[in-house]
């Protein structure tokens, strides 16, 4: 039985229109379980959120492209992710979750299927984090493929990762603004560390998960100053995503129309939004130029 709430069935329509080629760089597909079973030993069981529902959401919001991030509940079985990418006919890419013993053949197969990055979880409820040696060893193998790393970090843990980040031979993306706590303000050491990554040329950030850094009440406006600060500090290395279907939400379920509206409030400049929504993801994930 699912132990996570489902996403809203009828999200609002965004007030503002997204530009052509806009990309949701952080979303997931779950199941359907009868075709793509969830992993044994998973830390959560979501309700099914298959490709058809994700594609319908993107059409509703005006998003033309997306990056599906492998969900922990599917473990290292990427069948659902690869199926969704194939069905999107060039409009979607993927980020994998790899075992330490992933073979070169597996990496090549994932690359052929549209995967362009690998994710590491440093969030306690998702299991034991990887060692630095494991991350560096895998990063070296991913470099020839042109892949990047996605780092799912929980708040203050980011400061302890800084020595590792300085050694990475590939681009890396910090998901969900490092899951910092908005209540602690822009001067919090965790956010200062995240903001400081602007000086590192292979560092990227996703201004996604606005609900995950706030107090859990829609429309999560306390996260907007953090989105704005990061976007202005890293204009060519900032990404955005919905985080649909919002797994393991602790608080109000986000309304994805409001999530889009929050981006427009945080980034009022149309040129900067074009970079974040279209140009930056096209460069990092290899989408065709518009």
Q: Which two tokens stand for residue 106?
A: 């597996």
Q: Which two tokens stand for residue 181?
A: 């706590």
In whole angstroms, give the CA distance from residue 21 to residue 42.
Answer: 35
* CA within 13 Å, CB half, 152: 25
Angle between helices 104-112 and 132-142 (to 10 degrees): 60
Backbone angles phi, psi at 268, to 5 degrees: -75, -20
SS3 state of residue 40: coil
Active-site residue numbers?
Answer: 243
Backbone angles phi, psi at 202, to 5 degrees: -100, 10
Q: Where are the alpha helices (DSSP H) in the chain?
A: 51-61, 79-87, 104-112, 132-142, 157-165, 189-196, 210-213, 224-233, 256-266, 270-274, 280-285
In whole angstroms, give the CA distance from residue 163 to residue 46.
Answer: 35
In whole angstroms, give the CA distance from residue 6 to residue 215.
Answer: 20
Q: Which two tokens stand for residue 40?
A: 């044994």
Q: Which two tokens stand for residue 81?
A: 């992710």
The answer to whether the beta carbons of residues 123 and 153 sit under 8 Å apart is yes
Q: Which two tokens stand for residue 213?
A: 């850094």
């Amino acid at each position: 039985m699912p132990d996570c709430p489902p996403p809203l069935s009828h999200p609002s329509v965004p007030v503002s229109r997204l530009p052509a080629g806009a990309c949701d760089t952080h979303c997931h597909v779950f199941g359907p379980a009868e075709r793509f079973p969830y992993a044994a030993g998973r830390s959560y069981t979501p309700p099914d959120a298959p490709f058809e529902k994700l594609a319908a959401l993107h059409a509703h919001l005006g998003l033309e492209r997306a990056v599906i991030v492998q969900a922990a509940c599917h473990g290292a079985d990427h069948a659902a992710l690869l199926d969704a990418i194939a069905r999107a006919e060039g409009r979607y890419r993927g980020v994998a979750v790899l075992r330490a013993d992933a073979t070169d053949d597996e990496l090549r197969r994932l690359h052929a299927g549209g995967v362009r990055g690998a994710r590491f979880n440093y969030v306690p409820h998702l299991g034991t984090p990887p060692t630095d040696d494991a991350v560096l060893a895998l990063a070296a193998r991913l470099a020839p493929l042109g892949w990047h790393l996605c780092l799912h970090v929980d708040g203050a843990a980011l400061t302890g990762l800084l020595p590792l980040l300085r050694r990475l031979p590939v681009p890396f993306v910090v998901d969900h603004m490092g899951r910092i706590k908005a209540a602690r303000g822009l001067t919090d050491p965790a956010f200062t560390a995240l903001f400081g990554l602007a000086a590192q040329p292979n560092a990227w950030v996703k201004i996604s998960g606005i609900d995950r850094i706030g107090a859990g009440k829609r429309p999560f406006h306390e996260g907007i100053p953090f989105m704005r600060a990061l976007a202005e500090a890293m204009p060519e290395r900032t990404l955005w995503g919905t985080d649909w279907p919002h797994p393991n939400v602790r608080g109000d379920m986000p309304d994805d129309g409001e999530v889009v509206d929050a981006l427009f409030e945080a980034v009022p400049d149309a040129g900067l939004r074009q970079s974040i929504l279209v140009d930056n993801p096209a460069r990092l994930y290899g989408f065709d130029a518009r």
